[in-house]
Amino acid sequence: MRNWKQTALLGVVLASLAGSPALAQNTSPVVNVYSMWVKLSLRGYAQEEIESVLKNIDPKTLDEVKGRLRRSVISNLQLKKIDRLYARSRDYDDQNLVMESIRTEIRFAGLETDPELKLLIKDRFGISLAN
């Protein structure tokens, strides 16, 4: 009976030590590439500069991040109802307003030179972006 109590007490002590901050400091932090990309883009870095900063990241991970950013831009443009605004534009100034809104979303995502995003916008909204 006494041996059972000692084993249980040892198990409780070991379980409490596993969650202690002293042991947690030895583990390496997880890098969230998506949040790093967004932070850099909001600081004004261009796509080439961001890719240069993240050059040591796995290319597959970068492609996943870019895909997520593309979906985010498309979603934001849908929320803004860009296709309706573009269809209702009556003059050159209205079209410029729509185009500037699209460019702003792209700039905030840090995907200024991404041809795949521009193709997605053309397919989804029927709006062709000039370089």
Full residue range of the structural domain in which residue 117 is found: 30-125
Query: How many domains is the chain partitioned into structurally?
Result: 1
Q: Is residue 95 part of a domain?
A: yes
Q: Is residue 62 part of a domain?
A: yes
Q: Is residue 130 part of a domain?
A: no
Tell me the pTM: 0.73
The 3-class SS string of 2-59 reads HHHHHHHHHHHHHHHHHCCHHHHCCCCCCCCHHHHHHHHHHCCCCHHHHHHHCCCCCH
- Per-residue pLDDT at 130: 73
Q: Is residue 91 part of a domain?
A: yes
**Per-residue model confidence as pLDDT tens digits over 23-78:** 444 444 556 999 999 999 999 999 999 999 999 999 999 999 999 999 999 999 99
- Per-residue pLDDT at 129: 84
**Per-residue model confidence as pLDDT tens digits over 78-118:** 999 999 999 998 999 999 999 999 999 999 999 999 999 99
Please report the DSSP string for 53-119 in residue order.
Answer: HTTTS-HHHHHHHHHHHHHHHHHHHHHTTHHHHHHH--SHHHHHHHHHHHHHHHHHHT-TT-HHHHH
Q: Is residue 13 part of a domain?
A: no
Q: Is residue 18 part of a domain?
A: no
Q: Is residue 37 part of a domain?
A: yes
- Per-residue pLDDT at 23: 44
